[in-house]
Structure 1
Amino acid sequence: MQDHLNKAARDCRTSEVAVETLEKEIQAQEAAFVQKAETLQKQHQKMGRLLVLLRNLETEAPSHIVRHGKEGRSILHIA
């Protein structure tokens, strides 16, 4: 009976250590996810600003810049 209780106690301690390890791994993954999400959000904002600048450039471009459309996209070329 005592051997059975000792084994159960060892198993419990082993399980507690495994749970702590998994919790640390989850925290690390969550931190990495948050960092990547923040990076993607910043990149999305930059892309939005670049698109606005491109649209402004396309509408305000001097006449010596020729606009060519390709699959609905406008690309500026210096003539």
Structure 2
Amino acid sequence: MNTVQQLQIFVAVVDNGGFARAAEALGMGRPGVTNAINALEDSIGVRLLHRTTRRSSLTGEGELLYERAT
């Protein structure tokens, strides 16, 4: 998966309010979404989302990337 695809998945996670809803909207499995976000975070070296068992929220860096990606 390339960086552009990972960014599209990241935007979908933010727009849909979570990993499960983004996976459903994108027609892919939740593990695929999780792996794409993890790979994106690893490749740029920053944490983009604060994750809990019930929700995710943007970090400061995530907010900046989301603004640039959209």
TM-score, normalising length from structure 2?
0.31
Larger RCO (alpha carbons 8 Å, 6+ apart): 2
Over alpha carbons, which structure has the higher Rg? 1
Higher strand share: 1
TM-score, normalising length from structure 1?
0.28
